[in-house]
Amino acid sequence: MPVFEFKGFDSAGKTVKGLRDADSVKALRSLLKKEGVLATEVSESGKGVSKGKNKADGKGQGLLDREVDFAFLQRVNTDDLALATRQLATLLQAGVPMVGSLAALIEQTENKALKRILSKIKTEVNEGISLGDAMSKHKLFDHIFVNMVRAGESSGTLDVVLERLADFKEGQAKIQGEIIGSLMYPMIMVFVGIINISVLFTVVVPRITKIFDHAKVQLPLQTRLLMFMSSTVRDYWWLILIVIAGSVFLFTRWRGSKRGRGQWDTLVLKLPVVGSLVRMIAVSRFARTLGTLLSSGVSLLVSLDIVKNVVANTRIMTAIEVAAEAIREGEDIAAPLKRSGEFPPMVIHMIAIGEKSGQLEQMLNRVAIAYEQRVDVRLKGLMSLLSPLLILCMGGAVGFIVFSILTPILQMNTLVK
């Protein structure tokens, strides 16, 4: 059954709009009329909006009668998905049937892109398709989401699983927000610094150094270096941009290859400060995702196959793959993870205790909480050091320019005296 968007007026004269499913535009108008709504604009979801009766009567209409639909430009962020998941869990816990819960969720959702996806899912569920299978047809729902929903449906605990999924998505959004927020100020400083230095090299320095053209003194090395850098930036800025763009392209292509990504991920983990932070983020993702999947009834091997794509580091992914193979051969999970050397001893110890006590999910959640807190503390510490370091670098660049200009001027004054 197709889904239609509509706009109109209710019996009180207020503007109303929404999404409804119906057999046709004419059937939708009749249904809305019975509810006291006069539809002025109707369109099938994903297509242009029709106005008046022309569209309903099947007649063509001019370009001016169409309303451009920009909903495809909207994105569904993690917060929107988490909120919708929690609302669906609440509706199911209240005893509302699945189709009714999806219909209520569609009415509550403000994001048009999410509303359309939910409308399609509702139509498919109404036709007898399971919720997990319907979600698997949309890129919005990743493997973790779909597998947890399927596990919840098979075990009869879908509402509980959806609550855990909402918590999981909110945790993901929190970590992403902290990382982006921490990097925003330094990135702005770097951008402003590059602009300032570029203006100094291309405008200010050439004008000031003109006084040295006819000077009969030997210019200091730093002054000659400054003049060379200024003339290079001013005359060959296009070549510099080409070199930078080419370098970024080649690096991206190399890192996108299987060999290049492995080498890059290995190098990142060995970096003094960044490496430990990347490892902590990967461990927190591993523990949080695996604990959530196991708590939702997903088997360990399936969970590990999903989790390896979440850590975003090939070395740790390989360690998880080796652990999965060892589990298939009868080993526990702690031993192969320990042999890989990629997981901290504390994590291995807690996983081993969880396996022996039958509380692996709880131990993984504790590990996730501990490492998420460590990531937060480490990020705040790095950002508190990075900002003064950037200011020092910018001050050093400006100081070099000032010193390189003032030194020959002072020498010329000395010769004049």
pLDDT digits (tens, 9 = 90+) for 91-108: 888 888 888 888 888 888
What is the pLDDT, as a whole number, of residue 54? 40
Average pLDDT over residues 288-316: 83
pLDDT digits (tens, 9 = 90+) for 9-49: 776 667 777 777 777 777 777 787 777 777 777 777 654 44
Judged by average pLDDT, the poorest of 82-96, 150-164, 313-327, 354-368 is 150-164
What is the pLDDT, as a whole number, of residue 217? 67
Q: What is the mean pLDDT of the chain?
A: 81
Q: How far is CA 149 from CA 163, 304, 310, 335, in A?
A: 11, 17, 18, 30
Residue found under tokens 């007898």? 128
What is the pLDDT, as a whole number, of residue 35? 78
Mind spelling out the 3-state secondary structure of the chain?
A: CCEEEEEEECCCCCEEEEEEECCCHHHHHHHHHHCCCEEEEEEECCCCEEECCCCCCCCCCCHHHCECCCHHHCCCCHHHHHHHHHHHHHHHHCCCCHHHHHHHHHHHCCCHHHHHHHHHHHHHHHCCCCHHHHHCCCCCCCHHHHHHHHHHHHHCCHHHHHHHHHHHHHHHHHHHHHHHHHHHHHHHHHHHHHHHHHHHHHHHHHHHHHHHCCCCCCCCHHHHHHHHHHHHHHHCHHHHHHHHHHHHHHHHHHHHCHHHHHHHHHHHHHCCCHHHHHHHHHHHHHHHHHHHHHHCCCCHHHHHHHHCCCCCCHHHHHHHHHHHHHHHCCCCCHHHHHHHCCCCHHHHHHHHHHHHHCCHHHHHHHHHHHHHHHHHHHHHHHHHHHHHHHHHHHHHHHHHHHHHHHHHHHHHHHHHC
Strand-pair category, 15-21 with 38-44: unpaired
What is the pLDDT, as a whole number, of residue 242? 95
What is the pLDDT, as a whole number, of residue 391? 84
Q: b/e map of 127-162 (b: 16 or more CB within 10 Å)?
A: eeeebbebbbeeebbeebbbbbbbbbbeeebbbbbb
Residue 41 in contact with residue 19, Cβ under 8 Å? Answer: no
pLDDT tops 80 at residue 181: no
What is the pLDDT, as a whole number, of residue 252? 92
pLDDT tops 80 at residue 71: no
Q: Which of 405 and 4 is assigned the larger pLDDT? A: 405
Q: How confident is residue 281, by pLDDT bands cut at 50, 70 and 90?
A: confident
pLDDT tops 90 at residue 248: yes
Residue found under tokens 């050091």? 385
Residue 355 in contact with residue 334, Cβ under 8 Å? Answer: yes
What is the pLDDT, as a whole number, of residue 70? 42
Neighbours of 294 (CB within 10 A): 21
Question: How big is the chain, counted in residues?
Answer: 417
Q: What is the pTM of this model?
A: 0.66
Q: Which domains does the chain have, with CATH numbers?
A: 3-69 (no CATH), 78-141 (1.20.81.30), 156-417 (1.20.81.30)
Average pLDDT over residues 205-213: 79
Average pLDDT over residues 189-194: 85
Average pLDDT over residues 349-378: 88
Q: How confident is residue 310, by pLDDT bands cut at 50, 70 and 90?
A: confident
